[in-house]
């Protein structure tokens, strides 16, 4: 652990502000009855339920099941049926005993929810349970309010939801989702930071997160895919090829937004190290594929082959490094030569001339993820990039995006290739689709063609307020204000 970097991260730790929301109750419940409390919108915080007994003096503890749901659909899901591969521990279910009535039961855990469902498992024949009110102390480190932006009602609605998504993920760090994983992930951080520069401008929070990744890098300089901060700061024991490389553009964006030279001087060696480490995955100038599940992320799709896309992320990241070094008036020639070699090789190995698209892996798979990253890496010029995106739309058997993370990159690729109007339409349709489904905050996964999409083996653990989906607020301010 780099103690000096950890100290800098802790110095930038924000204070949380809180606000209390109350939902009136009054329902009287017998055994096996339930009631739902709707906070009117998604909240993140510490709930408290006020109970009293109705009837004769209570003569046994009340046993109550409380569920916290981010969306209305979840209210009907049977969480006991969830059998996926990530922990059931993420389910927001609590069984509580009330030994004394009346009482205010304060939950020690922080929850992300809009609805609280209270089911009475047991009272006694002598009494029923009254729920007087439900209260939530909501927390965030985002500054108060940002004016909503957008050219019409639809865009304003999207922006409002995106702003809320970001602010609820802004806690002591930029969390990926306040329900799950409540943790700092590099890919998410990059998009949150971009949106933050256009909105809340809480730049010290970005700085803290950059130092947290730097502090927890191992002795060889490997940056972890995510960082735990409780009970103490610690890295996850896994790295992902693309996430580690994305440290570089995240640092570059931070510098462009803040001009903070001190941070850049501290962290530049680690950024350069990421290129050196990533090179180990190459055989000459061509990247090797890898069987390890999750070796490179790109999108939450289990069928997606990552080989060619990984090389594109490498080129993209190295180009950010060159831009950063140029800002600092440093020599870039070694990196520029490497970019040229890797780009030529990528075209030779992965570009299928007949189809006019990049292919990946032994099966020569075509996906949005691969091609979008080549557009972002600007291996070809703007015109050709626009054609690539055009061809993707009519390509059969193409692997489509499933997360707002990948959709963000698709919209960015459309903008970069001179097609901001279409980028805007994609943003309106995709994020607007979630809004039409009643989203208060944008989701971790949304596949309009499959509402049950989940990489976890059950959507009960999906997160419905997820950092990487906040970027419409970035697009709207940075690109679409004048389109």
> Applying CB under 6 A, which residues contact ligand RAM?
176, 181, 185, 187-188, 297, 444, 468
Looking at the Cβ atoms of 8 and 183, the one nearer to ligand RAM is 183
Looking at the Cβ atoms of 308 and 461, the one nearer to ligand RAM is 461
Residue 182 Cβ vs ligand RAM, minimum distance, rounded to whole Å = 10
Looking at the Cβ atoms of 227 and 389, the one nearer to ligand RAM is 227
Looking at the Cβ atoms of 417 and 473, the one nearer to ligand RAM is 473
List, in sequence order, every beta strand (DSSP E) within 56-92. 62-69
Residue 243 Cβ vs ligand RAM, minimum distance, rounded to whole Å = 7
Whether the CB-CB separation of 206 and 174 falls below 8 Å is answered with yes
Q: Which residue is nearest to ligand RAM (CB)?
A: 176
Token pair listed for 287 = 């990247």
DSSP string of 298-351, one letter each residue: SSS-TT---HHHHHHHHHHHHHHHHHHHHHTT---HHHHHHHHHHHHHHHHHHE
Residue 146 Cβ vs ligand RAM, minimum distance, rounded to whole Å = 23
Q: Rounded to 5 degrees, what are φ and ψ at 438?
A: 90, 20
The Cα–Cα gap between 7 and 211 comes to 9
Say which residues have a Cβ less than 8 Å from residue 232's Cβ, sequence separation at least 6.
Answer: none
Whether the CB-CB separation of 445 and 453 falls below 8 Å is answered with yes
List, in sequence order, every beta strand (DSSP E) within 356-429. 357-358
Looking at the Cβ atoms of 212 and 359, the one nearer to ligand RAM is 212
Looking at the Cβ atoms of 131 and 304, the one nearer to ligand RAM is 304
Token pair listed for 226 = 């995510």
Looking at the Cβ atoms of 297 and 351, the one nearer to ligand RAM is 297
Query: How far, in whole angstroms, is CA 57 from its chain's centroid?
Result: 49
Residue 294 Cβ vs ligand RAM, minimum distance, rounded to whole Å = 8
Residue 226 Cβ vs ligand RAM, minimum distance, rounded to whole Å = 7
Token pair listed for 331 = 């020599």
Residue 87 Cβ vs ligand RAM, minimum distance, rounded to whole Å = 11
Residue 188 Cβ vs ligand RAM, minimum distance, rounded to whole Å = 5
Residue 465 Cβ vs ligand RAM, minimum distance, rounded to whole Å = 11
Looking at the Cβ atoms of 159 and 188, the one nearer to ligand RAM is 188
Q: Rounded to 5 degrees, what are φ and ψ at 265?
A: -60, -40
DSSP string of 133-162, one letter each residue: EEEEEEEE-S-S------SSHHHHHHHHHH
Helix (H, G, I), strand (E, B) or coil at 249: helix
């Amino acid at each position: 652990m780099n103690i000096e970097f950890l100290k800098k991260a802790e110095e930038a730790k924000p204070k949380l502000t809180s606000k209390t929301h109350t939902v009136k109750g009054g329902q009287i419940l017998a055994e096996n009855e339930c009631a739902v409390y709707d906070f009117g919108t998604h909240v993140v915080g510490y709930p408290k339920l006020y109970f009293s007994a109705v009837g004769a003096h209570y003569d046994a503890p009340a046993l109550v099941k409380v569920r916290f749901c981010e969306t209305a659909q979840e209210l009907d899901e049977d969480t006991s049926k969830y059998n996926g591969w990530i922990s059931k521990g993420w389910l927001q279910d609590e069984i509580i005993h009330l030994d004394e009535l009346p009482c205010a039961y304060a939950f020690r855990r922080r929850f992300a929810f809009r609805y609280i469902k209270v089911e009475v498992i047991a009272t006694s024949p002598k009494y029923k349970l009254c729920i007087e009110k439900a209260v939530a102390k909501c927390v965030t480190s985002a500054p108060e309010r940002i004016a909503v932006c957008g050219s019409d009602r639809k865009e304003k609605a999207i922006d409002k939801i995106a702003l809320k998504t970001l602010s609820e993920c802004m806690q002591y760090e930029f969390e990926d989702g306040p329900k799950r994983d409540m943790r700092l992930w590099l890919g998410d951080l990059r998009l949150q930071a971009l949106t933050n520069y256009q909105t809340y401008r809480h730049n010290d929070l970005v700085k803290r997160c950059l130092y947290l990744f730097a502090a927890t890098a191992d002795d060889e300089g490997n940056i972890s895919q995510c960082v735990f901060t409780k009970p103490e700061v610690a890295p996850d024991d896994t790295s992902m090829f693309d996430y580690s490389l994305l440290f570089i553009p995240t640092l570059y964006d931070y510098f462009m937004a803040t001009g903070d030279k001190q941070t850049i001087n501290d962290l530049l060696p680690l950024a350069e190290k990421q290129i050196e480490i990533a090179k180990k995955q190459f055989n000459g100038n061509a990247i090797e594929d890898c069987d390890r599940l999750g070796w490179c992320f790109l999108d939450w799709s289990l069928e997606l082959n990552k080989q060619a896309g990984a090389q594109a992320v490498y080129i993209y990241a190295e180009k950010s490094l060159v831009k950063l070094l140029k800002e600092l008036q440093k020599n870039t020639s070694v990196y520029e030569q490497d970019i040229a070699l890797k780009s030529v090789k990528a075209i030779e190995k992965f570009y299928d001339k007949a189809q006019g698209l990049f292919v990946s892996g032994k099966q020569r798979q075509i996906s949005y993820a691969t091609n979008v990253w080549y557009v972002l890496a600007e291996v070809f010029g703007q015109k050709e990039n626009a054609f690539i995106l055009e061809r993707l739309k009519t390509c059969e058997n193409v692997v489509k995006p499933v997360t707002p993370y990948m959709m963000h990159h698709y919209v960015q690729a459309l903008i970069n290739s001179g097609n901001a109007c279409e980028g805007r339409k994609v943003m309106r349709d995709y994020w607007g689709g979630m809004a039409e489904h009643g989203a208060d905050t944008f989701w971790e996964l949304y596949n309009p063609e499959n509402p049950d999409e989940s990489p976890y083996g059950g959507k009960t653990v999906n997160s419905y307020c997820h950092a990487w989906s906040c970027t419409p607020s970035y697009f709207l301010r940075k690109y679409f204000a004048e389109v």
